Copies of this chain bind each other. A is one copy, B any other.
Amino acid sequence: MPDRVRIAIDAMGGDFGVETTVSGCALFAQKHPEVELLLFGDEGKLQAEVGKFPALEDVSRIVHAEVSIGMGDKPSQAIRNGRKTSSMWKAIDAVKQGEADFGVSAGNTGALMAMSKVILRTLASVQRPALAGVWPNLRGEAIVLDLGASIGADAQHLVDLAIMGAAMGSIVLKRDVPTVGLLNVGVEEIKGIEEVKAAARILRGIESSHLKYHGFVEGDDIGAGTVDVVVTEGFTGNIALKTAEGTARQIGQYLRTELRSSLMSRIGYLFAHKAFGALRQKMDPRRSNGAVFLGLDGIVVKSHGGTDGLGFSGAIEIGYAMVRNGLQTKIRETLTEAHEIRMTLEPPGVA
């Protein structure tokens, strides 16, 4: 654990700009006055905003960046226009240079992923990075990955996802040995694509002190909270995430419409408003804001672009927990351990 955690913030990212990111940083700094925040972005704008929060002023340093990556910029465009000059690039590069322990951005996902890959590179044995999120469920929370960092996965990549997700799960969920499920379909005859079946065979062989393989899980197991870590490739993961978000919005809308539909229901709402407040809080996406890029040689957290200060501070919290609890070391250890077990199971040249 580093003495003083240093955090690189892309202060220009997100739908609402510096006002949101700086207020998020201020909330975070209030709770963690021992950290150091490096704020990358337009110096003038940042000075004006940071000046509003003395507690943040004490623990932060502004680093000017001329360029801001637009929310609609294509990744290739972002790298072309923002290489070395943009707040996003500079924030990630601070992680690479060892000036910060992790980076946070609410900027556009594609650009952040592309820049992170270019600057930080993947860990030696990991093919591609993954995007992992914290998903609330009926038993608490779970880690779900890949939420869309890459498309398609062979068995080895699914196993890497399981290992990295379990490392993150052990920290976020405070579990010694998180349970891991492979997302699959339940129709018997076609139970799973070959890659998923092959990953299951490998995971069954890994008797790790860092993860416990549960077996296949289906889509409805995500909400039920059947396992601590749900593993799938990025296309399906992204669609599962957005389908769940859409369903939550749909039910919320039904509920609002029905509760406004008559005088009686309006009165009922008044009586039960605390219950609805609690429900709203449970479904508040800010509570689980902050997805982590796993498999890179450095930690980068992606905050939702449309979140507010509270949500942004939550994304910083996620990265902070990762660093404090040695995420990268855990990932490296489990990858090595799993690799050794595979070598025993399938010595090279034998398969």
Contact = CB atoms under 8 A, between A and B. Distances in A.
Interface string A35-57: 00000000000000000000000
B224 A250 contact: yes
Contacts of A282: 254, 258
A36 B255 CA distance: 41
Interface stretch (A107-115, A331-339, A342-350): A107-115
A119 B74 CA distance: 50
A271 B275 CA distance: 14
Interface string A269-285: 11111111011001100
Question: Assembly of this chain: how many copies?
Answer: 2
A244 B220 CA distance: 7
Given A108-B188, A239-B183, A242-B218, A264 B254 contact: no
Interface in A113-142: 113-114, 137-138
B268 A110 contact: no
Interface stretch (A58-66, A83-91, A98-106, A145-153): A145-153
A247 B247 contact: yes
A341 interface: no
Given A114-B189, A187-B148, A239-B236, A246 B275 contact: no
A218 B249 CA distance: 14
Contact of A243 (B189, B243, B279): B243
Interface of A: 74-76, 108-111, 113-114, 137-138, 148-152, 183, 185-190, 192-193, 218-224, 232, 234-236, 238-251, 253-255, 258-259, 261-262, 264-265, 267-276, 278-279, 282-283
